[in-house]
Structure 1
Amino acid sequence: MGVSTGADGRSAGEALSSYLRTQATAFLRGLGVRGDDEAVADSLLRGSSRRIAGVLHTYGELTDPAWAEPMRAELGWLGATLGREPQYAVRLGRLLDALRRLSALTPPEDPLPPPPLPQGAWRDTDPATGPGPAPAAGPAYGRRTDAAAGAALGTEPGGSGRAPGPRSGGAGGVAAVAARGPVPTQAGAPLAVGAARAAALLERQLTLARTRAHSATLQAMGSARFHALADSIAVLASEVPLTARAGRPAAAVLPPLAEQAHSRLAEAAGTLPLRRAAHPYNAEAVQAALGAELTADLQDAPWHQVRILLRLSRYAAEVPGAGGHGDPRLAEAALVLQRHHEAAESAAAVSAAARTPRIAPATAYALGVLHADQRHEVEAARFSFSRLWQS
């Protein structure tokens, strides 16, 4: 995937200033409509902030660094702040849809009525939905003697009863539940039994996170820091501080800088395990992501970095006179890596929910299946990207 250069009669500074003014205008338009539609306004603010910051990064030598570097930092802060609330909303919708889909694949069996509990018996409690049903099989009813509950929570019988932490299993603990199969109770306890509780737990946690993100957005939008940034963007709409090199022809200056951005992307993509990812049903990669030796976060980080570099390369090509990549696969690759990012973050959210103390075994099992499903989505995105990038 190479870069094709094009001719432009303007100077590099004129071409760059034109692009930055367009994005600054979009930013100011987002401020104007925020009172009517916050979602549309925040989308305009995030998009323009990312583009301005990305272009200032790629073409930084054409602008005054004393002005450009603080501007990039503030735009990064704003984009990250505005992006959290919609991310939590998308993540919750994704996970609830996945739970409904997975539950539909395994309809629950007709449960047998459980025998009455002995006096003083312990009953498992799910913090999302309250007390749950006691196990219906086995010689005793306590968690200390229920091997099925211990297996579902990733603990040994007689253990603490808490979901495993990162070093004792973490994501691997919930995935191991899915690998073992349904919790072996008298009724069979398929996925549907714990799906409702898992959905309630995820909804509670992610809704709380979304509410906090919304409060942080409101606080940021009313801060002196944001107003100073908005003033700087208003100035940017009419004037861009440029260096002497910006006076050279755009065709001579911009394409080499855009090519450097694309080269950084190609170099980072070259370090990815694309050959392994190109195999469908890549159980080896899934196991590596869930194992103790290489956590999912560490394995996902290079892919997230490629996603960011791909975004920077595409923004650099949007500047007039920079030359376009001339390859529609880049836009498709960006969508694939976005799906990869959403699936990886969703799996991390499920793993965090599985660490909630004292969740019911059926809830832990449902979370384990959901976590494995999201990690398979991660591998599916890697498969698509590897085939696309190497074609």
Structure 2
Amino acid sequence: MAQRHLDPTDPRSRHAGPVPTGDALAGYLRAQATEFLRALRLHRETGSGAGGSEGSTDAARALRRSARRISASLHTFQSLLDTDWCEGMRPELAWVSGTLAMEHAYTARLERLLSALHRLSGSTALPGQTTAAAAGTRAGPAAGSRAAGAARVGGGGPPARAKPSVGEAPRDAGLPTDPTSAPERGNLTVGAAKAGALLDRQLNLARTRAHSTALQALGSSRFHAIADKVAVLASEVPLTKTASTTDLRPLASAAEGRLTDAVAALPLVTAGNPYNASALVHGLSPDTVPHPQDAPWHQVRLLLRLHRYAREAQRGEPNGNAVVDLRLLSAGQALNHHRDASEAAAAAAQAARTPRIAPATAYALGVLHADQRHEVEAARFAFQQCWQKETVSTS
């Protein structure tokens, strides 16, 4: 069922009608539990073999979606629910959602990186779908020197001013097009096939392992215990005695306040300037740990999701009929893009650390890393634009 999209300034986008209480929360949780059980039944009916079917993939996505909403509601409205039950359910639902998300994440990451290599190299086929030429192992002394710099990923290499795919950030012309830059473009084209093949091997192996882990999880006694508890939740919600007369809006407002505070801590002034190079400069680090500058943005993404689900719960609307605030939708899309680009850049950096790879391969992976860090920056710009625009319109 299609969602209804309303402008946030439209009075209809605000809550109207009776004061939402614990009864509305109970109805929302029962609906999400029912969706969880329906998705689980569909997953079992469509099969979950090595290849998996489209129906099985959709069912796994629906399982994750319901698990996230139930877990988020338990977090936001915990004071209205049995404390011990909440503390036991929340980590289990997070485990289900996280485990089922990994296979899809690796598949999407590989597709993203191969598409970026294709765009950057100007090749006629996706790099991962071609056989690298023998020349990919030797790019000459000059190219080897450049590749070595790019291979460090934390030590430089010519950054690619790639086209951002979100927001309104101006688009650069990509890699240099003047004749003197032809060797660099050639080296990237030569290395792209090898880089694509390397990423294909690494991420497909990770995806296969994630698929096996998900199958084992769904067949485990731990998951069956969670499913049993969700089945009980579909008919009986463990509300406190005073929940039926308690207003949900203060708790939902508290979730919104946590989001607002987290956004206020972001460097939105810097993000408001396209190509400020902050994401790239700080991203060029030899550390294998996630970039600490990305963490606050990831946290805002999670808080935004909690805020969205709290709004759904206080309206008592299942996600299929929910009124969607266009600003929150756009902000969420920008932050999802930020997360995807950040993780893709980390995957390119990890591949560049593979021992004994050809210099041209390392060069291509270095340029790919820089491209994805620019995508991180473009996503921050897009988020800043939609968030600041709403701030101005409501002030």
Normalising by the residue count of structure 2, what TM-score does the alignment of the two structures yield?
0.79
SS of 1:7's partner is coil
Does structure 1 residue 59 correspond to structure 2 residue 77?
Answer: yes
| Corresponding position of 2:209 | 212
Cα distance between partner residues in 1 of 2:184 and 2:222? 59
Cα distance between partner residues in 1 of 2:39 and 2:149? 48
| Corresponding position of 1:233 | 230
C-alpha root-mean-square deviation of aligned residues, in Å?
A: 3.2
Could you tell me which of 292, 295, 313 is aligned with 1:298? 292
Cα distance between partner residues in 1 of 2:242 and 2:16? 19
What letter matches 2:16 in structure 1?
Answer: G
Gaps (5+ residues) in structure 2?
A: 1-7, 47-54, 126-130, 161-174, 390-395
SS of 1:19's partner is helix
SS of 2:28's partner is helix
Alpha carbons of 1:7 and 1:357: their partners in 2 closer, same or farther (altered >3 Å)? same
Could you tell me which of 157, 175, 181 is aligned with 1:176? 157
| Corresponding position of 1:329 | 327
SS of 2:149's partner is coil
Cα distance between partner residues in 2 of 1:186 and 1:53? 53
Cα distance between partner residues in 2 of 1:282 and 1:361? 29
Residues 370-389 of structure 1 show CA distances to partners (whole Å, capped at 9, x for unaligned) of: 11111111100100101111
Cα distance, 1:76 vs structure 2: 0.3
| Corresponding position of 1:6 | 16
Cα distance between partner residues in 2 of 1:153 and 1:93? 26
Could you tell me which of 29, 32, 38 is aligned with 1:20? 29
| Corresponding position of 2:68 | 50
Cα distance between partner residues in 1 of 2:58 and 2:16? 34
The structure having more radius of gyration, on CA atoms, is 1
Contact 1:194 1:363 (8 Å CA) reproduced: yes
Could you tell me which of 340, 354, 364 is aligned with 2:362? 364
Cα distance between partner residues in 2 of 1:132 and 1:211? 31
Could you tell me which of 83, 89, 99 is aligned with 1:71? 89
| Paired positions, count | 345
Cα distance, 1:190 vs structure 2: 3.0
SS of 1:319's partner is helix
| Corresponding position of 2:243 | 246
Contact 1:55 1:315 (8 Å CA) reproduced: yes
Contact 1:178 1:365 (8 Å CA) reproduced: no
Cα distance between partner residues in 2 of 1:294 and 1:86? 23
Alpha carbons of 1:247 and 1:288: their partners in 2 closer, same or farther (altered >3 Å)? same
Cα distance between partner residues in 2 of 1:350 and 1:371? 5
Cα distance, 1:295 vs structure 2: 7.7
Contact 1:6 1:322 (8 Å CA) reproduced: no
Could you tell me which of 345, 348, 351 is aligned with 1:350? 348
Cα distance between partner residues in 2 of 1:203 and 1:294? 20
What letter matches 1:200 in structure 2?
Answer: A
Cα distance between partner residues in 2 of 1:202 and 1:218? 24
Cα distance, 1:326 vs structure 2: 7.8
| Corresponding position of 1:276 | 270
Contact 1:288 1:295 (8 Å CA) reproduced: no
**1:26-41 mapped onto 2 (5 Å cutoff):** 26-34=35-43, 35-36=45-46, 37-41=55-59
| Corresponding position of 1:88 | 106
Cα distance, 1:20 vs structure 2: 0.4
Cα distance between partner residues in 1 of 2:388 and 2:183? 51
Cα distance between partner residues in 1 of 2:184 and 2:24? 69
Residues 218-271 of structure 1 show CA distances to partners (whole Å, capped at 9, x for unaligned) of: 10001000000000000000001111230215xxx1111100000000000110
Cα distance between partner residues in 1 of 2:193 and 2:365? 11
Cα distance between partner residues in 1 of 2:266 and 2:33? 35
Cα distance, 1:26 vs structure 2: 0.5
What letter matches 1:243 in structure 2?
Answer: T
Gaps (5+ residues) in structure 1?
A: 108-127, 138-145, 156-162, 165-170
| Corresponding position of 1:124 | none
Contact 1:178 1:372 (8 Å CA) reproduced: yes
What letter matches 2:40 in structure 1?
Answer: L
